[in-house]
Structure 1
Amino acid sequence: MKGKQLLVLLTALTVTASMTLAGCSSNNDKPANDRKPAQGSNNGGNKEGDKKEESGFVFGDEPFTFTYYVNYDWWTTEPWGANPNSKWVQENKKVTVEPIQSGGAAAQKLSTMIASKELPDAMMMDRGPDVERLRSAGVLVPLDDFIDKYPNLKKWAGEETLNMLRSSDGKIYQFPNWFTAAPTGNGGWFVNSKIYKELGSPKLETTDDLYSYLKQVKASYPDVVPLEVGRTAEGVEVMFPGFGEGNTTTYSHMKSYPDGDKFRTIYDNEAWKENMVYASKLFREGLITQDAMTQKEDQVKEKLATGRVAVYVGGNATNVGREGHNTWKNADPSGGYEFIWPIVKPGVDKNNVFPNGYNALGWNVNVITTNAKNPEAIFAYLDWMAGEEGQRIMFFGPQGLYWDEFDADGAPIPNDKWYSTPQEQKDKEKLEAYVWAGNATYVDTSKTKIEMMLPKEQQNWGAIAQFNVAWKTSHNNTEYNNIDPAPETEEGIINQQVTELAAEYFGKMLFAKSDDEVLSLIEQAKKETDGLGFQKVLDYRTTKWQENVAKINGK
């Protein structure tokens, strides 16, 4: 990378230290016959990828190792070979991954690696501006030739999804993670079933019902949190869609929402305003955990694991609920949690409320850097993982552990060990932690089929919550993909300022002494946001959004 390009990129990354969860290379210019010839392994249960692709990478010819970094403060990549599926890959595919950890400071870590010219071979990060900065600096490998050579990404993601990943130069640099052709999502509500029964199982469908119930809980169970909203009170954003049909949490995250054919500030959204007034009322009456803005994730999980939460709402509810349910029920058989339909304001159609949003492109992306000595081998591994065999092994475990055969659709058929092993024990094996090229279409269909075959007491709590509620309350947000401005641009700097301002005002609104104070703070936030020039961001998003709509419609 040229010195000037590096300086520009490093400066941009430093300015955007809030970068979160996680190439045109001389390596890629090598003639095809210099690359390692992909073939799959006969281990794992099918013939997928077993035919040798001309000039493709052949798994198992000799050991292959690459470094991998996940660009999130909170992420710790599990050690390779320490659990059944990564060990299987190491032994059967001869692939080893060397994790590079963020150490809780992802943006700084990435900046340091760029400055020292020691980028990882591959990394996971958010789609959009962060990827584009790296691409513009010439440190990412284009994947187009590999996509045409290897079968799975193109087969399962489809041309439309892949086109949405193209950069301005017309090439694809991003391998999506958890791409999907069907609704996904983990957000929503669940209740403490033990307390709920003890209080007579009252109707719990509207915000009025919830308010009455939370007051009952506070009066009867002084040591229990009536409504848990997670760290930084993120659950308040998940409550928002219940106040107006057609809304989704994505609007809250963007601090803006579509109105007709253009974007407007979230401070004009009446449902969002009502939600903040309601949440503040619950908070000042002690019905929401009082340390919501300062508590850590571990504190939330500890409360759930000991049954000290009556109602929970959050964006990762199916996962934290599953962990809390299994741990608590293991200690107290009468304990447990039950996932419920989203709470709505009276008069709102509960079937048109979306606490979840999904994107055909999935969650985040993998990129391969020009530091990689064999980028094609890394792509071949990601592509194998995205196929049926890879998903079976990396999500459900290797053949012979919890399944021995698979059905006509490629879904694993549970064996006796699957039935006899407690879910809590399966969770400890952290099988899903190694799925970096998730194919949600395959996994969600397969795990639903498996769970429906199990006795109720052995079903995966989170999977059932997804199937029964979360996925049915998920909005297709693909059209809003990659519509944010690059952080180093004028619009990007304004957007960052607006985000920081919104976080400041969010806390003030939650701590407000009255409904009128909340509404006054909303007007103040709007005025300051307008003063920062947020309209430029809204105009930028509108343009990019309309371009996406045209792509989706094939124009």
Structure 2
Amino acid sequence: MKRDVRFISFIVVAVVCAALLNACVANQNTNTPNQSEGNTGTNKGTNGANGTEKEEPIVLTIVNAAGGTPNFPTGDPFWEDNPVAKALEEKLNIKLKWEVFSGVGKDKLNVVLASGEYPDIIMLSDPTKIIADQIAISLNELIDQYGPDLKKKFGSALNMLKQSNGNIYHLTNSYLPEGATPPGFGYSLQVRTDIFEALGSPKLETSDDVYNYLKSVKEKYPITSDGQTMYPMSGFNRNWGSPYFGMIAMAGSPADSKLYIREDDSVKYWPKAPWAEEVIQFYNKLYREGLIDPEAFTQDYAAWQKSKLYAARIAAHIGGWNQTFDVLKTYTDAKLPNAEKMYFQNFVFKFPSGDKPAIFSASKKGTGALVITDKAKNPEEAMKLLNYLTTEEGNFLAMNGPEGIQWEKLDGKPALKKSYLDRWLAGEAQVNIEKETGMNHYSRLVGSDLGQTSWGTYWILKDDPIATNNTRMQQKDQALSPYWYDATTIGNLMAGADTDTVAKQQAVDKRLYENAFSVILAKSDTEFETEFAEFLKELDAVGAVAVEEYMTKMHKQYKQQLSGE
């Protein structure tokens, strides 16, 4: 392991003493003068291959209280002996001693913090209290000195992590790296391939195209091969779930936000967008003409899958791309006629008055939190570890495991070994391959799988449609990837709101869901106009304007913060 300049200078000055003592004791901690034996990076171990003595690894203690951990309990040797851990020890001479909370991690963490005996690094969901209690240390100087790669990868997003005093106390994961473009995820129109091709594979670029296509489906395929009603389009009611968000995302409402961002950066709820009436009228038109399953807004997700999707009674669906992706196996297992062509393709369509579709939202700020605590005896080494995990080499290692196990370089580019590719394609449980490779174990420290590597691959090879030769995923990626939205400044818009504003926000949110049904299910144009006007009126009656004003203030504040102002 390379020693830093400060440590080397100490050796030069104290070389005589070092020789007499036959040890090199360097305190790298700026907070605490004493180091525990487990955390010193200068203890001597066994001789190396060249006859020189090898340093004992620096041990950093870490607790994961955030959930989403790999499937191995604390105490499993996997945590400290997996291939990624060994690679990091070889590269950095750093070893993590893990503790993983199961159950309600937040409550268990509070007990640990109250005891005063907590680890060097903590992964958690919300860092607010741990920062307020001065348990998390400032990372500014550590990032400047030991985090050049991290600083570059986070880019301007680091401004979003600063507290009011200018200090950064936590880092995130799953952020959109500076300059990266996410692959094709999010909402889409999914159409069954056999029906689509039988109808001539028409273009599906606008809402009119989709309407005409669904009419053709109804005319040519009124019933299934076993005599059941075929629905040109279907859906389900899960807080409106994906059909709701999918509909407005096609018109430009940032995915999952329920918002409309005006050109002047003011924030409005989506029913106030110029395109809102046209979009909701599209669903109403489908309903009134029998082009959509009449139970699309009442049946739950499980019932929809069982009675409609798995029963092959759906020709199209607007929602998450993955909601119909795996149904092909059900059709092939059932040996349905032409089953190999019954998979769903992905399309993004536009509304005449709509904005560019925003089917997937990505944030430069990221999610979750990781802090270095005031108990850390080697905060510099902790930052060196985090910095390495943001490099291409380190991030790829964490996502896939070390080279030579499940992947290798072919023509200078990472590729899955055939034995592992076959296992992934056969649907083997990921936990088995995690156990062998260490993949995913360190990926949630400060890692991100958004964007692409410099090799042109996905960060996670087994999800890469080129690496797996998955033509269906390639079609999905090509269709969806242009339509992502940078949601960095519209996340957490209710932060710091008083109880009255929060109550109004909750009331509006409730009506956005419940009151939209009466508009979509209107039986005539006149009834639609009346119900839509009432929909808007009710939102304002329960406080939409006040909430919009608050969200606008926060959005503009975040934009300033992101720019470093």
Alignment of 1:291-330 (within 5 A): 295-296=300-301, 300=305, 309-314=314-319, 316-317=320-321, 319-320=322-323, 322-324=325-327
Displacement of 1:343 after TM fit?
1.9
Contact 1:70-1:77 at 8 Å conserved across structures: no
Whole-Å Cα distance in 2 between the matches of residues 455 and 503 of structure 1?
36
Whole-Å Cα distance in 2 between the matches of residues 463 and 372 of structure 1?
46
Match for residue 235 of structure 1 among 237, 243, 246: 243
Over 3 Å counting, the alpha-carbon distance change for 1:385 and 1:205 in structure 2 is same
Quote the RMSD (CA, aligned, Å): 4.6
Whole-Å Cα distance in 1 between the matches of residues 460 and 100 of structure 2?
31
Contact 1:256-1:538 at 8 Å conserved across structures: no
Over 3 Å counting, the alpha-carbon distance change for 1:138 and 1:520 in structure 2 is farther
Displacement of 1:322 after TM fit?
4.8
Match of 1:343 in 2: 349
| Residue 368 (str. 1) matches residue 371 (str. 2) | yes
Match of 2:180 in 1: 182
TM-score (structure 1 length as normaliser): 0.70
CA deviation vs aligned residue, 1:223-265 (integer Å, no higher than 9, x gap): 655435464332332222444xxx2334x62444325242334
Over 3 Å counting, the alpha-carbon distance change for 1:66 and 1:232 in structure 2 is same
Over 3 Å counting, the alpha-carbon distance change for 1:525 and 1:346 in structure 2 is closer
Contact 2:267-2:548 at 8 Å conserved across structures: yes
Over 3 Å counting, the alpha-carbon distance change for 1:171 and 1:301 in structure 2 is farther
Match of 1:486 in 2: 496
| Residue 544 (str. 1) matches residue 544 (str. 2) | no
Match of 1:219 in 2: 222
Match for residue 63 of structure 2 among 29, 42, 67: 67
CA deviation vs aligned residue, 1:278-333 (integer Å, no higher than 9, x gap): 2244356361472555524796499767755432332x42x445544577668766
Alignment of 1:5-404 (within 5 A): 30-31=31-32, 34=35, 36=39, 61=57, 66-70=62-66, 78-79=71-72, 87-92=82-87, 93=89, 94-95=95-96, 97-101=98-102, 110=106, 114=110, 122-125=122-125, 131-132=127-128, 135-136=131-132, 138=134, 140-148=136-144, 149-158=146-155, 160-179=156-175, 180=177, 181-184=179-182, 186-189=185-188, 190-215=190-215, 216=217, 219-221=222-224, 222=228, 226-229=232-235, 231-233=238-240, 234-243=242-251, 247-250=252-255, 253-283=257-287, 285=290, 287-288=292-293, 290=295, 295-296=300-301, 300=305, 309-314=314-319, 316-317=320-321, 319-320=322-323, 322-324=325-327, 334-346=340-352, 352-362=356-366, 364-368=367-371, 376=379, 382-404=386-408
Q: Which runs of 5+ in 2 are unaligned?
A: 1-28, 43-53, 90-94
Whole-Å Cα distance in 2 between the matches of residues 123 and 451 of structure 1?
25
Q: Secondary structure at the match of 2:275?
A: helix
Over 3 Å counting, the alpha-carbon distance change for 1:150 and 1:485 in structure 2 is closer
Displacement of 1:493 after TM fit?
3.5
Q: Secondary structure at the match of 1:524?
A: helix
Whole-Å Cα distance in 2 between the matches of residues 438 and 146 of structure 1?
18
Match for residue 495 of structure 1 among 505, 508, 530: 505
Greater CA drift, 432-441 or 271-280: 432-441
Q: Secondary structure at the match of 1:220?
A: coil
Q: Which runs of 5+ in 1 are unaligned?
A: 1-27, 40-57, 104-108
Matched residue pairs, number?
A: 486
Q: Secondary structure at the match of 1:447?
A: coil
Q: Secondary structure at the match of 1:500?
A: helix
Q: Secondary structure at the match of 2:261?
A: strand
Q: Secondary structure at the match of 2:239?
A: helix
Q: Secondary structure at the match of 1:270?
A: coil
Q: Secondary structure at the match of 2:181?
A: coil
Larger Rg: 2
Q: Secondary structure at the match of 2:168?
A: coil
Displacement of 1:192 after TM fit?
1.8
Whole-Å Cα distance in 2 between the matches of residues 183 and 536 of structure 1?
34
Whole-Å Cα distance in 2 between the matches of residues 311 and 253 of structure 1?
24
Over 3 Å counting, the alpha-carbon distance change for 1:288 and 1:37 in structure 2 is farther
